Amino acid sequence: MYVIENGLVYNEYTQGDAEIKAFVGMEKQMLVTETETEIILQWQKFNLTDGQYENDSTNTDLFEYDGKTYAPISGTYTIIK
């Protein structure tokens, strides 16, 4: 079972008589994809049910890079190189 505590994701399970709490990652992370002409940044959030990260299209935070401010479109920032 996955749980989030203070922005951190853990996988809690039992092995024999021991209860294990394994660190998985942050609740949110930035996926970075780079091509020859652009850098694409996509915020992701951890889905407790599926046990994996999914794109966070609800993110509306501004992002500053190289002195410029970018607004997301469906949670994605596109920076032209």
pLDDT digits (tens, 9 = 90+) for 35-48: 999 999 999 999 99
| pTM of the shown model | 0.81
Predicted pLDDT of residue 31: 96
26 pLDDT tier (thresholds 50, 70, 90): very high
Quick: pLDDT tens for 59-81. 999 999 999 999 999 999 999 99
48: region left, alpha or beta (phi > 0 left; psi from -120 to 50 alpha): alpha
Cα gap 3→21, rounded to integer Å = 9
Mean pLDDT of the chain: 96
Q: 30-69 b/e with 16+ CB inside 10 Å = b?
A: eeeeeeeeeeebbbbbbeeeeeebeebeebeeeeeeeeee
